[in-house]
Structure 1
Amino acid sequence: MNNPANDSHPTASTATWLAEGQSSQRDMLVSLQALKTQAETSFNIIASHRHHRPEIFEFADSIYLEPYTIAVNDNEQTAPKPDTPLMPRWQFVLEHAKTNNVKVLLTGRNGIDYEAHREKFKAAGIRLLTGATSVSSLESINDKFAFMQQCHQHNIPVAEAWRFDNADELRALLAEHGDQPLCVKPVIGIFAQGFWRLDSNKEEDKHYDSFEHLYFTEKKKISTEQFMNAYSNSLMVHKRPIPMLLMPYLSGQEYSIDVVCEYGEVLAAVTRYKTGKIQHIGYEQSVMDVVIPLIKAFNCDGIVSVQTKADDDGQHRVLEINSRPSGGIDYTTHSGVDLTQISFAYWLGLTDKPKLADIIQRIVPCQVRSIVTSVKIEEASID
């Protein structure tokens, strides 16, 4: 077999496929296995990843290793095996999806690659879930500056942002907007990589010392002078320019919203916010009043996550959409509403189309604490 996978006996039954995700693939597979038991029905659950991930694969019925090539700036040191077919990922998945009678495919982290070939998946009878329904929409979602501009066009409350591509542009923006609390983050990025709060020039901030920022890095705060110096003298930025955003720092509560949607319509959603280590799960209508028109404006489709934050006046403002399930989607199970099961049961034809009003009534607000666990990974071949 060219690809190391346990597909030597393809099933004729309906299948669903979860391709490589960012952080929630394992939890979603667990939910799907529970759905199969609860629904007393038979469907094959397929998972794929570019690396051998036994802690993920153990919850799939069939598995595949996705082909990939190493990018110049990829920090992964693992190369594909010599016999791995170096065809495009989307094509590899499509061919095996046809063989396995896949009806629903959630693309995970590589949505744009698949979205460009949506018609081919549609022709094969596969419901493709990339987070949107066009490459342009996904590109707008990924580019935070373009995303915010599009939100303005649709009159959606969104955080303000000013783009800079070099130190001179940043200095000019600071001269214009430096009289307010500010933060910076990359135009394209995930997991808060590159996000920093900047000390303002207000009198009460002048007691902060440099070592405090280095010692308490989880606060993600740095003096404006230090950031300016680091950015201006960065060899990394000089070699590979990184477009950044300067933004007002919003002081209100931040929310993460997990959303099941179809062609711009919200079918189900759960909101959550964090205080310390505790996640508060429920349904906040004032937040959803911003999220629902947002999902419609970008014609979101699949399972996505949205981040919002309130300003000084309590107005919830959109920060971003992630065009894939969040790492915390499993938290929704504690509220009595498992969004993975609700969405896939519908897309697999096991239930009727979910209605948001009905889902809201089923949500039981709760508090959740995440814990770290471990699994043993055996050295074994899957050839």
Structure 2
Amino acid sequence: MNERSSSNQVNSMSVWLAEGQSSQRDMLKSLQALKAQTPTPFTIIASHRQNRPEILEIADKVYYEPSKQSIASDEQSAPQKALPRWQFVLEHAKQNNVKVILTGRNGIDYEAQRKVFDTAGIRLLTGATSVAALQTIDDKFAFMQQCQAHDIPVATAWRFDNTNELEALLAKHGDQPLCVKPVSGIFAQGFWRLDTGKAATEQYDSFEHLYFTDNKKISTAQFINAYTNSQMVKERPIPMLLMPYLAGQEYSIDVVCENGEVLAAITRHKKGKVQHIGYDSAVMEVVIPLIKAFGCDGIVSVQTKADSDGQHRVLEINSRPSGGIGYTAHSGVDLTQVGFGYWLGLTDKPKLADIVKKITPCQMRAVTTSVKIETEE
């Protein structure tokens, strides 16, 4: 049975955090703190495809989401029991009087079924309010084009799907520092800086990118050779982007939003290992119209980077909470609590101007810790 309950108490309403990328545990801890602060009872539900006790132990009630493997197994033995993830969650959500669901990493699947969640009285948080918006956010080239259409400063990009297109682009734009990254991806997967422009006079060591992988540098010739001869790319084509490399300060912005309106936000940037947390108005001048243009809804994260003139340019929107959403609590404003307090009806609708006044700028350093887990027999 894909269910485990740590409490027999049935509360009047529930909130559900589905499988996320990297912030599910921190958000569950914030919700438990919110629950302790309010007289209104609610149950905190979490779900995941895998047995992740270090995450799920924070919830009041736990479900294990169907995985592709489990669905395939069910189809062989009992096809009538095979449920899509969204339907599995919906049925259990109705049983538990869930009022709010944060979908985590599978937002598009849920978003396609928004009407049935609305009919069930469930506030669905996918990062936007349409499949088209989520697909555009996920496609970094389409995302750039829509930003340009709305006059939002955005990092320029040129798409390539093969070596000939890449070499043509390099011939045209190679007089400046450039970088590459996939059209779709997370966690900087596939991002590399190239030794073009001024860097071409100091070509990157061909071995350096293997030794210092965190530097994300690779010689242009080495990248072209690897891309051209990649068996992985031949079997599964990966659309890529060639982009000017922006050398300015990068920012991560956590945003609580509703139908394109920013309700609360906290900006942070990293210097060395130290995170600087606060509210940078210059960065938010780019973020606020961006959230409106894409109709963002829920808790999302935005990345920006400054160009050589100091202009903040949008890199991407992640249609889900960032891995650092828990850091916001150090500023005196816990964005998880701000958002869910409102969506659960525990607080009034947040106003950005009021939230900004409560933010205390601070610095913090992330540390690695450990959690003992008990294996299931």
> 1:130 & 1:228 partners in 2: Cα distance?
37
Cα deviation 1:99-128 (Å, max 9, x = unaligned): 000000000000000000000000000000
What is the TM-score normalised by the length of structure 1?
Answer: 0.94
> 2:180 & 2:145 partners in 1: Cα distance?
17
1:233 aligns with 2:222: no
> 1:251 & 1:108 partners in 2: Cα distance?
31
> 1:41 & 1:254 partners in 2: Cα distance?
40
The equivalent position to 2:118 in structure 1, one of 114, 117, 122, is 122
The equivalent position to 1:99 in structure 2, one of 87, 91, 95, is 95
Cα deviation 1:21-46 (Å, max 9, x = unaligned): 00000000000000000113310000
User: Is the partner of 1:22 in helix, strand or coil?
Assistant: coil
Corresponding position of 1:112: 108
> 1:328 & 1:142 partners in 2: Cα distance?
20
Contact 2:204 2:217 in 1 (8 A): no
Correspondence list, 1:216-365, <5 A: 216-365=212-361
What is the letter of the counterpart of residue 44 of structure 1? T
> 1:79 & 1:15 partners in 2: Cα distance?
30
Cα separation, partners in 2 of 1:193 and 1:83, compared to 1, 3 Å: farther
User: Is the partner of 2:128 in helix, strand or coil?
Assistant: coil
Contact 1:199 1:223 in 2 (8 A): yes
User: Is the partner of 2:46 in helix, strand or coil?
Assistant: strand
> 1:261 & 1:294 partners in 2: Cα distance?
11
Shift in Å at residue 70 of structure 1?
A: 4.4
Cα deviation 1:42-83 (Å, max 9, x = unaligned): 100000000011001111000000002049xxxxxx988988
Shift in Å at residue 174 of structure 1?
A: 0.4
Corresponding position of 1:58: 57
> 1:126 & 1:103 partners in 2: Cα distance?
5
Corresponding position of 1:74: none
User: Is the partner of 1:131 in helix, strand or coil?
Assistant: coil
What is the letter of the counterpart of residue 159 of structure 1? A
What is the letter of the counterpart of residue 102 of structure 1? V
Contact 1:68 1:80 in 2 (8 A): no
Corresponding position of 1:19: 18
Q: Runs (4+) of structure 1 moved beyond 4 Å?
A: 7-10, 78-85
Shift in Å at residue 204 of structure 1?
A: 6.7
> 2:234 & 2:361 partners in 1: Cα distance?
48
The equivalent position to 2:174 in structure 1, one of 167, 171, 178, is 178
Cα deviation 1:220-250 (Å, max 9, x = unaligned): 0000000000000000000100000000000
The size of the alignment, in residue pairs, is 374
Cα separation, partners in 2 of 1:151 and 1:3, compared to 1, 3 Å: same
Correspondence list, 1:22-171, <5 A: 22-70=21-69, 85-171=81-167
User: Is the partner of 1:176 in helix, strand or coil?
Assistant: helix
> 1:19 & 1:373 partners in 2: Cα distance?
23
What is the letter of the counterpart of residue 61 of structure 1? D
What is the TM-score normalised by the length of structure 2?
Answer: 0.96
> 1:42 & 1:152 partners in 2: Cα distance?
46
Cα separation, partners in 2 of 1:59 and 1:179, compared to 1, 3 Å: same
User: Is the partner of 1:354 in helix, strand or coil?
Assistant: coil
Residue ranges of structure 1 left out of the alignment (5+ in a row): 72-77
What is the letter of the counterpart of residue 186 of structure 1? P
Shift in Å at residue 214 of structure 1?
A: 1.9
Contact 1:184 1:244 in 2 (8 A): yes
Cα separation, partners in 2 of 1:47 and 1:167, compared to 1, 3 Å: same
> 1:369 & 1:232 partners in 2: Cα distance?
40
Contact 1:273 1:279 in 2 (8 A): yes
Contact 2:263 2:352 in 1 (8 A): yes
Residue ranges of structure 2 left out of the alignment (5+ in a row): none
> 2:224 & 2:29 partners in 1: Cα distance?
45
> 2:131 & 2:6 partners in 1: Cα distance?
31
Contact 1:257 1:306 in 2 (8 A): yes
User: Is the partner of 1:210 in helix, strand or coil?
Assistant: coil
Cα deviation 1:126-176 (Å, max 9, x = unaligned): 000000000000000000000000000000000000000011110100010
User: Is the partner of 2:256 in helix, strand or coil?
Assistant: strand
What is the letter of the counterpart of residue 52 of structure 1? N
Q: Which structure has the highest helix share of the two?
A: 2
> 1:316 & 1:240 partners in 2: Cα distance?
34
The equivalent position to 1:189 in structure 2, one of 179, 185, 191, is 185
Cα deviation 1:252-288 (Å, max 9, x = unaligned): 0000000000000000000000011111000000000
Contact 1:130 1:302 in 2 (8 A): yes
What is the letter of the counterpart of residue 245 of structure 1? L
